[in-house]
Structure 1
Amino acid sequence: MNRAMQPDETPSTQAPRSLVTASRARAWDLINKSGIVVIFIVLFAVLSATVPDFLTTRNILGLLLSVTLIGSIAVTMMFVLALGEVDLSVASIVAFAGVAAATTITHSHSVLLGIVAGILSGGAVGLVNGVLVARFKINSLIATLAMMEAVRGLAYLTSNGDAVMISEESFFDLGSGSFLGISYPIWSNIVGFVLFGFLLNKTVFGKQVLAVGGNSEAALLAGLPVVRIKIMVFVLQGLVTGFAGVMLASRMSLGDPKTSVGLELGVISACVLGGVSLTGGVATISGVLVGVLIMGAVQNAMSLMNVPTFYQYLIRGGILLLAVLFDQLRRSKRGV
């Protein structure tokens, strides 16, 4: 039964209220969808105007190159977070894959075999992560935290605690070569964003990932293979991260077990900044791209301005906190 109209309420006063409510809803929807893009545009304009040499072609290419490691992993971390899970082992996988590739190349003198070994080593770790989380129902935060330590240990054991130098010069082309004046790592990022954007938005698998992340019990009742989907996502994460580790080893000309410590926080920050919900079910490839660029632009500007390292830690931590708070705000507006 409709409530009776109060004495001070008339159709003319109710209509403006409904219009205001609708306007607020549309405004929030616009902010939720394009707010991060606006933030990036404003940030880029401010940095261009205030930071010397920021807008030069050389610096922009350097900025793009600097975010290739985070960007290459963020495209699959997006799927993990969209499931409502998390993967803290990616930094260790990067180190282990690079060491595996370098060790294989050193002993076999085969660049192709080394690349395959690095990628598959990452995929193997992803498989273990997926089985622990999906099959044994271990919380992904705990499972991947344990794997982060274990895999870093494997990297040290494989390399005997030291960096593994690579003598095959053809391997270096993977990380330092270029096409049309743009380096291969940047091209690999472009391909990655296009490929995984298509996978998320245009395939059944992408829709299934979002459905499982939105409500895994409902997805299971609907007949979706939840366990298999989760394992596939973690394996995909491992393979792509392994490739990122191989690319990094190529750029550094060695496999280093100490590399990329803390990388997982940068990747997660970029995804959350880009609108990927930590509770699952929400992800956009364009948002992740903008999130990666924001992280890179801030880091690049701090380097150009010679900001001391300890202040950089504070700023990166603040960005992560703001990203989490923004995600909390989005979820409260959705009523989650």
Structure 2
Amino acid sequence: MNTLTTPSSSSTSPSTSTASDRPAMNSKHRAWLNEHSMTLGYALLFVVLAFSVENFFSAANIVGLMLSVAQIGMVACTMMLCLASRDFDLSVGSTIAFSGVLGAIILERTQSVGLAIGGGLLAGALIGAGNGVLIAYLRVNALIATLATMLMVRGLAFIVSKGQAVGIADESFISFGDTRLFGLPLPVLVAAACFVVFGVLLNHTVFGRNTLAIGGNPEAARLAGVKVEKLRVWIFLLQGVVTAMAGLILASRITSGQPNSAQGFELDVISACVLGGVSLLGGRARIFGVLIGVLIMGTVENVMNLLDVDAFYQYLMRGLILLAAVLLDQLKTRGAARR
């Protein structure tokens, strides 16, 4: 007698497995889109501007764009570490001004480029370390500590320069910001090196893992053996050194140390970091995201200059970008909390 055979359970398993895998695949797609949404958005923006704005895609303008964001990019690399550790630094603009003025004064009096650069970098290191000690060991709120430092360092820049720009005539120092290698200005290459070095530091070293750990939960990191206070001082010291380097490069580019330079610089840097996915609550940072954030800030400013937009409207746009960056960070934080 013939018997009817029923399909075995194994024959239906592929369709069942496929159906069960769909939510996981959709979740992965959403995560991928969320992770790379800013990169895709910038790529689309770049293509649109290349076809719609005259001279935007020219070689001269692209090099000029990279040069205009070089200083912001350098400082954003270390600001990323500050934000990732649940701190921030409002004194970077003043540090840029002071290191440029101090370097110009040392150069004027000693005629030594090495001493000028060394003096500027040492000043930046001391300012950064001072911020770190105030915040980590003396428990001063980062907002108050770096705001006070911002005012004091800006005041020092005006005092040592007597309120005047300090001219630079030394060709060796000027070439520091004007030399081209492989067709690119030296400041662009320095900024690129910063992204590589701090990207490796963040993603492939104990220093980077501990930075994210103290940003995520300082007490848990301390219980795990991380020297939280010491690490915070080192982060701010690195911030000071890199910021001072940016100040010296700026002074060499404009051939003078300007005590009133880089005003509002700190807001541009923080905006670029937050646009790039660095959380204001700490514990989350991506070096490639910071690069995209820097490029967005620079591209918007570059296009406004090409279109001859009034400076007052440029201030408005920068404020809107900062607000958008903060709102984006809030949305990402709430989305992560729901998951």
Aligned residues: 323
- Supply the AA of the counterpart residue of 1:90: V
Deviations 1:42-88 (A, max 9, x none): 11011111111000001000000000010010010000000011100
Structure index of larger Rg: 2
SS of the residue corresponding to residue 335 of structure 1 reads helix
| Distance in 1 of aligned mates of 2:75 and 2:256 | 20
1:72 aligned residue: 74
- Supply the AA of the counterpart residue of 2:47: A
Return the offset for 1:23: 5.3
1:315 aligned residue: 317
| Distance in 2 of aligned mates of 1:321 and 1:26 | 29
- Supply the AA of the counterpart residue of 2:195: F
Q: What's the TM-score once normalised by structure 1's chain length? A: 0.93
- Supply the AA of the counterpart residue of 1:308: D
| Distance in 2 of aligned mates of 1:85 and 1:294 | 23
2:144 aligned residue: 142
Return the offset for 1:177: 0.8
1:33 aligned residue: 35
Return the offset for 1:180: 1.7
| Distance in 2 of aligned mates of 1:150 and 1:219 | 33
- Aligned positions of 1:1-336 closer than 5 A: 22=24, 25-335=27-337
Deviations 1:231-265 (A, max 9, x none): 00000000000011000011011100000100001
| Distance in 2 of aligned mates of 1:131 and 1:163 | 31
- Supply the AA of the counterpart residue of 1:80: C
- Supply the AA of the counterpart residue of 1:333: G
| Distance in 2 of aligned mates of 1:288 and 1:321 | 17
Return the offset for 1:158: 0.9
Identity across aligned pairs (percent)?
A: 49
Gaps of 5+ in 1: 1-14
| Distance in 2 of aligned mates of 1:107 and 1:96 | 16
Deviations 1:196-249 (A, max 9, x none): 111111111000100010100100111110000000000000000001100001
2:9 aligned residue: none
Q: What's the TM-score once normalised by structure 2's chain length? A: 0.92
Question: CA RMSD for the aligned pairs?
Answer: 1.6
SS of the residue corresponding to residue 227 of structure 1 reads helix
- Supply the AA of the counterpart residue of 1:143: A
Return the offset for 1:22: 4.0
